[in-house]
Each structure stands twice: as C-alpha cells, then as structure tokens.
Chains A and B, each alone.
Chain A
Amino acid sequence: MSQSVPPQLTKKDFETDQDVRWCPGCGDYSILANVQKLMPELGIARENIVWVSGIGCSSRFPYYMNTYGFHTIHGRAPAFATGIKVANPDLSVWLATGDGDGLSIGGNQLMHCLRRNVDVKILLFNNRIYGLTKGQYSPTSEIGKVTKSTPFGSADYPIDPCGFALGAGASFVSRTVDVQAKEFLAVLRRAAVHKGGTFTEIYQNCNVFNDDAFVSFTDKSTKEDRQIFVEHGKPLLFGADRKKGLRVDPRTLALEVVTIGENGVTEQDVLVHDEKNATIATMLARMPFPRFPVAMGVLYAEERPSYERTVTAQHERAKERFGKGSLEKLLHSGETWTV
C-alpha cells in the first residue's frame, strides 16, 4: 500500500468513542490497553489495520480499536481474515478470539488459517471458561470443572492452545499473560514483525466466572518459580535466583527440571532455546503444571512464504505467461464455429 509516512500516532489515536462493555476487572481491559499502546510503535497507518473477530467477550475487541474492524460470526474469524488478506495482502490484519470461539466452534477455521500461514496476527484470549454465555466450561477448562452445565464436573480433557497451533503447523507460536505488560508487549512486538501468520495465547482472567484461574503461576510471590520466559539462543533458566533450568533427559527424550549446582548440574547442561525447533517448542508448550513451569514467550518462530503472497505470485506468473486476461479471448477460446 503506497502512502506517505504516517504521522506519529499515540495510544489515544487507537481508542474509539465506544463504551467498553466488558465486566469491571476483566483481563480484557489490560489486553486492550497494551494493544493500543503497541499499535503506534508499528508505524502502520490506522486505515491499513483491520481487526477481525468472531463471537464472545474477546470478540468485542474490534469495536474498541480505532482502526477498521469486522465483528463476524462465531468461530469463523480466521476464514474472514483469509478473505481479507487475499483481497488485499497489504493490510495488517489482526484477529481477536477466545478459547471457545477459536478452539471449540471455530477449531477447524483456526487450524486451517494456521496451516496455510495466512499473514494474520491471531490473539487467543484463554480464560478457560465461557463468559458471554454466562459460565459454562470451555475446551481449555481443566477436567472435572464444575459449572452450570457440568454440575458433576466436566468429563472431557482440555486442549492446550499452543500445542494445537504447533500441531496445525503455525509458523509462529507464543504465549503470554494479560497482566504482565512487559512480556506481553515483547511477545506481540515479535508477532507484529513476523512475516506470516502468528498465534499468541494470552492467559486472561475472567473475574466473574473463573476468577484466579491462573493465579497459581501469575501471583507475584510464585511467578518467578512457576513461569519460564523463553528467549531464542538463551538457556532455559527460571526461578527467582535463576538456578532452575530445563534439560532433555537422554533416556526418555523428555524435559526435566534441574537445579544448577545440584547433582553436578552446571549451566552447560541446560537446554538452550531454539525457536526454530518445533520439537522443543512442542515440549515447552505442553509441560505439565505444576511439575514444570509454564512456558511464556516466543515458543516457535520460523518464517516461510505466506498463503496470500503465494497466491499473488501465481497471478503474476499467469499474467506473464498468458498476458493480462482478455474477456474477448476467453469467450472465443474453445472450439467455435460461425453460422
């Protein structure tokens, strides 16, 4: 898209005149504020940004962003975003979804959008509950979850969103938390510049229907010991004194938590994060809590040609080969005869 350098924008430029209608105390407020803070940094004119969403609390997001926005139908936002991107690959397309919208009703659309590597920045707000329908369990709720629709506890096993995205073949997978602004911005900055589709799971607290769902690893007192912020090329260390680390047990090919200085473990034994290694990313994504810390940051990132660029290139090649399409030529292209 050709345009002059946009004027320096501020967070305020990305706020709309609409009343924000989330419940007071909802984690979505922090996400909105941080996204509005990030947007001016990207140097993209507001009119070239589109926010797309499906249905659910998270999907109200576009109404509050002073960009183009499309609030669509339940679960299908990735398909709409795909259409937008193929129609105009130069737009910066962002997508807000939730654990219900993205992984329950819209699991198929999310999977295929990631698999195709459509250049859409997907933010999945995971609160592990259905909020807008007033508190039923979701596909990321822990087994045995007691809700209105499961008074005896839910019987199904949860899905891990990052594991799902990696399984679907996403080219960028990351995880963060609504209230951890610094890490949140670091992750989304990376997503913004990644050429291709990105998937970011955001642990988001629903203070009405699933309060404190993540407190066991987000509480200040335990956060350092129960989260690990991964960075490419750096050893996978965590803990308040950064003495704990992850390494691969050569007998099981699984990760294990080690402590530097114990049992002869040194920093050299600790696994160094390689974000281009899908195996490491998958192991990090699926570490069982609380035996392991929760992995945050960019778990996986490897650029490859995006869907809409490949599609555009096919058009260019066809035009080179056959010349610009001529209707006249097309209508007379088969076996014809004159009467």
Chain B
Amino acid sequence: MQVTGSQFTATAAIVGNDLSTFPDFPAEIRAPAGTLYGVSGFQINFSSHDVFTPGDAPDVLVAMNPAALKTNLKDLRAGGLLIINTGAFNGQNLKKAGYEASPLEDGSLSSYRLLPIDVTKNTLAAVEGSGLSTKEAGRCKNFWTLGLMYWIYGRPLEPTLRWIDDKFKKRPDIAKANVQALKAGHAYGETIELAHERYEVPPAPVQKGEYCNISGNTATAWGFIAATELGDIDLVLGSYPITPASDVLHELSRHKQFPITTVQAEDEIAAVCAAIGASYAGSLGITSTSGPGLALKMEAIGLAVSVELPLVVLDVQRAGPSTGMPTKTEQADLLQAVYGRNSEAPVCVLAASTPGDCFYMAIEACRIAVKYMTPVILLTDGYLANGAEPWKIPSIDSLPRFPVKFRTEPDGFHPFFRDPTTLARNWAVPGTPGLTHRIGGIEKHHDSGHISYDPKNHEKMCRTRAAKIAGIASDIPEQKIAVGEDHGKLLVLGWGSTYGAIHEAVHRCRSRGLDVSHAHLNYINPMPKNLGDLLRRFDRVLVPELNLGQLVQLIRSQYLVPAQSLPKIQGQPFRIDELEEKIRQAMES
C-alpha cells in the first residue's frame, strides 16, 4: 500500500500538482491482513493550488478490505467516492474487521458514491498466464487499483512503468504482471462507465524552478550531506536503527563518495559516543534517533556539553512514552531535548517545520554545532519524516557557507581558550603538533582546562556554557510572522510539523474576517531575540502542539505571557477544521 501511495505521489508531483502526503501504517512488518490494527493507509492531498497538509476529509477513499473501510470511512467526506474491493469482502474478513453484516448490503454506505469492484478477480484475470503463483498474482491488485486511480485523475502511467521496470529488474515475470495489472486497472476505468467520475487536476501555480518530491528524512540526510561541502568538513554518523529515523541512516549510507562515514553502532549510546569521538578527532559527529534513543544518549550529550565538542543529534519524534506507537507522530520530546540531562547542560534545539525545511534545518544544525562547539538537537517527527512534498531544489550558491577552522597555533593554546564573541572554545584535533591536551567530563579550570573542583570556577563554567548557548540568539533570524499582521487579537504560535495545518487554519479564519496571525518557531533554544516583543503585541497567544503543552510552558516561563495551550496527543497530526474551531473558540472566550 505504501508503494502504491508513493507511486501516486511521484506521478502527481511530476504533473505539477502541489501535494502533501500522510502515510499511516502499523509498526508490525507484515501485520496480519484483514485486521483493524494491520491496516496500512496512505493519504494524499494534491491540488492545483498550494497545499499545506494531507487534508482533513478525503474526497476519494479506496478500501481494499473491510478492516480498511472500518478504519478510514469516518474520514471520507459525505458524498465522497468510495471504491471497494468486493473480492475481499468475504465472511472471514468481515468478521476480522468486526462487521456483523456486510456494509455493502446493509445500506450503511448510502451517503457515499459507492463503486464496488472485485479488484481481486479483475487482477487475477489481468495477470493470467504470467506464471506467477496465485499469491504473487494477488499482490498485483495494488497496481491494478493504482491504474484505476490514474484513469480517474487523468495521470500518465509512464513514471510508474519505469519504476516497475527498475524495481523488479531481477524478477521480470513480476515486473510484467504488475505492468499488466496497472494497465488493466487503467483500461477498466475507461471501459466501464466511469467517465463521469473523472477528475482533472491542473498543475498548481508555483514558483519557477526545478522541483523534486522529497520526504523529511531524505531532506534531512541531504542537508547533512550539503553540510560537508558548505562547512568543508567530514561527517561521521553514528546511528542505531529506530523507527521512524532509520531512513536517514539508510540514505547517508548510500553516498560514500561524499566525505560521510556511517557507523551502525551496537546501541543508541555507542552511536552518540562514536559521533562525539569523531568530533573530537576533527569530523562533525552526527547521531540520528527517535525519542527512546534520545533518552539513552543523554549522558553522552552532557559530556559533549562539558568538553564543548560539536555534535548534531537528530530526533525524529514518535508517539511515546516508552515504545509508545513507533509509527505514529508526536511532538512530545521538546522538553526532553531542552532539559533532559543531568545538571546544567544547555544545548541548542532546532525544529523543522515541513519536509523540505528539514534540509535547511539540518544545515543550520551543523553550522551552529561547529561554530559554537556545542551539541545541537534537531527535532523532526514521523509526520515530516515520511510525508512528502514537492520541493524547489535550491541553488547551491544560495546556501550558507561556514568553513570550519581548526586551531593549529601552539602559542597561547589551552583547550578552553574561547572566541570572545561566540564563547566557543578552540577546536584542536589529535594529529596537530604542539597542541596535545587532555579533556574530559570532569569540571575544568576556565583558564587552563585542567581539572578543577574550585567552587567559584564551577559557577563560572556553568554560566559560561549557558551564555554561549544564549548568545546563539544573535546569530539566528528574528522571528517572522508567517500569516497575518505582527500585532492584533490572537497569535497562533506553533513549532515543527504543525506548520501546514496551522497555516491553513489561520488563513481560513482570516478569510472569515478574524484578527488572527500565525508565527512558527524553528529555533526553540535559544528563541529568537524579538520573540518576547512579538508575543506582547497580541492580546492572546494560542500554542497548538502535539503533546500535552510543552512549548507553552517555555513561552510562559521565559516571557511571562499568559499563553494558552492547545494540545493534541493521538499520534495523528492536527486537522485544519479542528484548529479552525479552536481558534474561533479562543477568540470568543
């Protein structure tokens, strides 16, 4: 199902639609087919105008079995087109999904435009003679359905045909059957009287340029790769596979012609430690993980704070606590990222707001890490990681350059000698003559780097490390307003992956005459210098986030403004209509 979805996405992008996707799948690798918990879904919103979210209520739902129908029907808008594979609506599957009677027969689907098709049977007929087993042949039904959808939406088959050829290079029999199924589905749409259902979605008017379709995890990995060139530095990624972050490890491991080494470590702790070791030796160490992994890495991140080495930690957040719901999205690691270490151990925390933005924030994380000799935690989440959007490929000249400088001059050297502006210590790497020195997690004297238990020195060092992070505020963009005026009745302040939903909801409220603006934070620690002033120019501040209210705590405590929380914690992104309603309520109350 995920393959079908991503093929439809790629084709929509190629014909120039703006789009946003929401893959929603179970954590189990091959969850039992037909069960409610085994339903794998893929939602796409594509349009001839700008799209910011995967959409609240789809116009078309394809249900391949009763469980899929039961799980997703509530989302389909009334009057929407409902395509059902009747071949899978047998007694056993109905029972697994908890239906007492077939919904095809009891009239419960009467508010939708129902299109029942025996996809299974049609697919088997289409691939007859392919030599595939019945089981293998049955698997072609997703391509049959994709062919039908291509007909309905007037999409070209070629991109998917090319993909099938490439993907099944080693199994030409399967490739051929999938091609037959795709074409048969397409022909089916043409043959039966489906013409009245045809949708035409013209290209969206977008900025001129070259585009590709990109997911958050790929964009993040590409941002790290870009950093090697922009910072003129080698990268070492230490990582332990974890959902939904593993694709960053996969993507970086593919590109060994770049100065990027990937170490699949034995555990989350070793992954971050190897990254810090690499930073010590003069590469930029990166580690990628999700919430439970971040918890395991915290002691080592504290060491990087103490020895002041650059480190980038990517946390692709997922629903917790503990194992939680690994494939579902959430934003509840914010306070863990900001505060989750022993003692006073401040780090820089950034958040990406769209799949494409992951690219720029990954570069920014690397820039800050090496310039300030500090760990930077970059927060994305499952929704950004797996969701895709068309992305305007940037020109490399437009990206920031930050060439790294190592200390080589022995005169006046000590390991904690600082740049007076950034407060970053000098980076002296093994192999450099005349600079041999020892560093470690024990408190060190501010002026020599030697071990020190002096009480006043400890306070000085704690304050210096804090001032260094706070000072990054002078090196980041001022907070901008994404939608609306920079003052007024209500500011909706978001962070991370909620950008699209908030953006669209605020737009809609404004078009109904409400005095509301949207601002979106990319910099969580430190926050932009002007944020306090900005917040105070609004009567009220509303903070929607996919947790029980974490950013709102930081906002209240740092700026003493009575910000109001709008939490959601269901493993699902915000819907535009629910935000719209809450915004209206907030303005009325």
Contacts and interface: CB of A to CB of B under 8 A. Distances in A.
Interface of A: 1, 3, 16, 18, 45-50, 52, 62-63, 65-73, 76, 78-84, 86-88, 90-91, 108-109, 111-112, 311, 314-315, 317-319, 321-325, 327-328, 330-332, 334-339
B277 A84 contact: yes
Interface of B: 10, 13-14, 16, 159, 203, 206-214, 222, 225-226, 228-229, 234, 236, 238, 255-259, 261, 263, 265-267, 269-271, 273-283, 285, 299-300, 303, 307, 393-394, 396, 429-442, 450-451
A318 B256 contact: yes
A65 B396 CA distance: 45
Contact of A339 (B211, B396, B438): B211
B14 A337 contact: yes
A18 B210 contact: no
A25 B267 CA distance: 38
A325 B438 CA distance: 35
Contact of B273 (A47, A79, A332): A79
Chain B at the A interface: SS class: mixed
Given A69-B439, A76-B269, A339-B16, A90 B431 contact: yes
Contacts of A79: 238, 265-266, 269-271, 273-274, 277
Contact of A83 (B258, B269, B273): B273
Contact of A327 (B270, B396, B431): B396
Given A76-B300, A330-B222, A339-B211, A84 B270 contact: no
A62 B436 CA distance: 11
A80 B274 contact: yes
Contacts of B274: 79-80, 82-83, 86
Contact of B431 (A48, A86, A328): A48
Given A108-B270, A327-B225, A331-B393, A83 B263 contact: yes
Contacts of A1: 431
A97 B564 CA distance: 52
A84 B522 CA distance: 32
Contacts of B266: 79, 108-109, 111-112
A90 B431 CA distance: 9
A46 B432 CA distance: 10
A72 B206 contact: no
In this complex, the member of A72, A83, A112, A339 whose beta carbon has the largest number of chain B beta carbons within 10 angstroms is A83
Contacts, number: 208
Contacts of A72: 273, 276, 303, 440-441
B410 to A, nearest CB: 10
Contacts of B430: 47-50, 68, 84, 88, 91
Nearest to B256: A318
A108 B433 CA distance: 34
A66 B436 contact: yes
Contact of A71 (B13, B393, B394, B439): B439
A80 B273 contact: yes
A59 to B, nearest CB: 9
A267 to B, nearest CB: 45
B396 A87 contact: no
B168 to A, nearest CB: 18
A167 B278 CA distance: 28
Contacts of B283: 87-88
Nearest to B14: A337
A112 B265 CA distance: 8
A80 B440 contact: no
A337 B18 CA distance: 12
A35 to B, nearest CB: 15
A98 to B, nearest CB: 16
A88 B211 CA distance: 37
Nearest to B392: A339
A337 B425 CA distance: 45
B270 A87 contact: no
Contacts of A324: 257
Enumerate the 4 nearest inter-chain pairs by beta-carbon distance, A residue then B residue, closest first. A83-B277, A71-B440, A325-B258, A79-B273
A336 B211 CA distance: 5
Contact of A335 (B10, B209, B451): B10
Contacts of A334: 212-214
Contact of B438 (A47, A70, A311): A70
A86 B263 CA distance: 9
A199 B362 CA distance: 38
Contact of A325 (B257, B271, B435): B257
